[in-house]
Structure 1
């Protein structure tokens, strides 16, 4: 597990606070997928990955736990790594190739992306989420790379 049980419960609670009618089990799955997404971004900077709209809710909840989030970025990507979030929203944007690439990157890390949470935005999704944020087709996720050693060009 990438975070402690207590941290997970806290992040899941943040998802549930933002989405009062959401079942605890669904909120937990969203956090799990947010963690997988973070790991993919931190370990594969520059690949142009993006979360589905519902997974983005889990990522937002992780970001709100700032100290844990910063530690997690460094644990996953190495010292100096930080996965930044630059929100944008256009409900017409949905880019399956970016989501496919993200799911493939998650699989390469040894996890399976939850197919119910990585689909297109629609009324038939497993859960409606509060976040108004979209990261495709122009992915705005930036991973700050490890700093260069002094004197190295």
Structure 2
């Protein structure tokens, strides 16, 4: 008989102090007035779950646009972010936006699905409100060579 030990998922927001979590939530709320206090608190947790999953993944992962906003808030607090990465993972988790090869990484939906699976496998809570594009998107992140991206190569007749 095989016994499966299913542990409850953990709120990754607990990876940082309550003070830092509140500071990051306040930073995001100051920039985006539509974000409620509860959503900001949950968003910090989703961002930390993403960063933790990224630190453990051998393959690239991609945040949702909303989770990316929270990651930007943390990255801008450079010392706190660097200290967190080194204490939690023993290495720095870089924010490297850019276009990933669709064939190699499965496009946006495949990449985002891998991200969500990695967060789940790492044992963190997943809040679907922060990953809505799993049902609709087919991109990896904003301005990553999309048709309306400033980086998109267009055919221009001179």
Same fold (TM over 0.5): yes
Q: 1:107 aligns with which of 120, 143, 150?
A: 120
Secondary structure in 2 matching 1:96: helix
After TM superposition, give the deviation of residue 65 of structure 1 in Å: 1.6
Q: What TM-score do the two structures reach when normalised by structure 1?
A: 0.70
Q: Which has the higher contact order (CA 8 A, sep 6+)?
A: 1
With 106-115 and 49-58 compared, the bigger mean Cα shift is at 106-115
Aligned length: 120
Deviations 1:60-102 (CA, angstroms, capped at 9, x unpaired): 1111121111011112321xx111123459xxxx711111111
1:97 maps onto 2:88 in alignment: no
- Aligned: 1:48 with 2:56: no
Mark the structure with the bigger radius of gyration.
2
Aligned residue in 2 for 1:141: none
Take 1:43 and 1:88, find their aligned partners in 2: how far apart are those partners? 20
Structure 2 residue matching 1:55: 3-state secondary structure: helix
Higher helix share: 2
The answer for the alignment partner of 2:142 in structure 1 is: 134
TM (norm. structure 2) is 0.68
- Structure 1, unmatched stretches of 5+, are 123-132, 138-153
TM-fit CA distance, 1:31: 1.0
Partner of 1:73: 85
In 1, the alpha carbon distance for the partners of 2:143 and 2:92 equals 17
> 5+ residue gaps in structure 2?
1-13, 100-106, 136-140, 146-158
1:21 matches 2:38: no
* Aligned alpha-carbon RMSD (Å): 2.4
